[in-house]
Amino acid sequence: MGKKLRKLRKIRLHHEGTATLVIGFVALAAFNALMFFFLYNLCPTCCYIVLGICVVVYLVVLNFFQCPVRRFAGDDTQRIVVAPADGKVVVVEEVEEDEYFHDRRIMVSIFMSLFNVHANWVPVEGIVRKVVHHNGRFKAAWLPKASTENERSTVVITTPEGTDILVRQIAGAMARRIVTYLEEGEECYIDEHMGFIKFGSRVDVYLPLGTKINVTLGQKTTGNETIIANL
């Protein structure tokens, strides 16, 4: 029982979801109140079915805006790359990165479904060299072209060893807002939040060739816990 209580205390809601959750609760409550008032005598079963659907939808959104308190379990973060997001690995391949490096890199992509926490964590410790937001389209986040055509935010971090790592937050078909908290010139650390993406999206990490990759296609990741690579 004590372990369950400690786990519950580590669960909190992200401040990015406050307005959405409050407005959504009020709207759903008002809708169901009106439905029960006007339609209950005609079809009580229908009212309860709709109420149940609304509760499930709200719980899914509530889960989406969870912001777990996590601390990296290891003592040494040197040359460690942790997963920046909860989700599933959908790409592990060598690609041409044309925005910043203009050379070949290993790209690891993590897709976040509506059922994943959408807070993003800093994947490596170092100095933030670049933060750029790009306007774009809203294709399905798992499509290959989403990395270069969708609404996205690019962050470049230089590790203490001098290695540049590029992290790209990508909006999906339903996502309409990317939030990035990091600023150019500041230090960043594992355990810190990098940002948040509202509804279905993906995070790409570009690593130097020769990096040891510790994840495989289809593998599930936990943000700030799963070690996806060793530099």
Active site residues: 201
What is the number of other CB atoms lying within 10 angstroms of the CB of residue 165? 22
The answer to whether the Cα torsion of 227, 148, 137, 124 is positive or negative is positive
Which burial class, exposed, middle or buried, applies to 167 when counting CB atoms under 10 A from its CB (0-12, 13-18, 19+)?
A: buried
The answer to whether 95 and 102 are in contact (CB under 8 A) is no
Per the CB < 8 A criterion, the answer to whether 171 and 72 are in contact is no
Q: Which residues have C-beta within 8 Å of that of residue 8, sequence separation ≥ 6?
A: none
Quote the tokens at residue 103.
């050379």
Indicate if the alpha-carbon torsion angle 1, 6, 71, 191 is positive or negative: positive
Which among 111, 189, 120, 103 is positioned nearest to 154, based on CA atoms? 120
Q: How far apart are CA 111 and CA 218, in angstroms?
A: 10
3-state secondary structure (DSSP) of residue 159:
coil
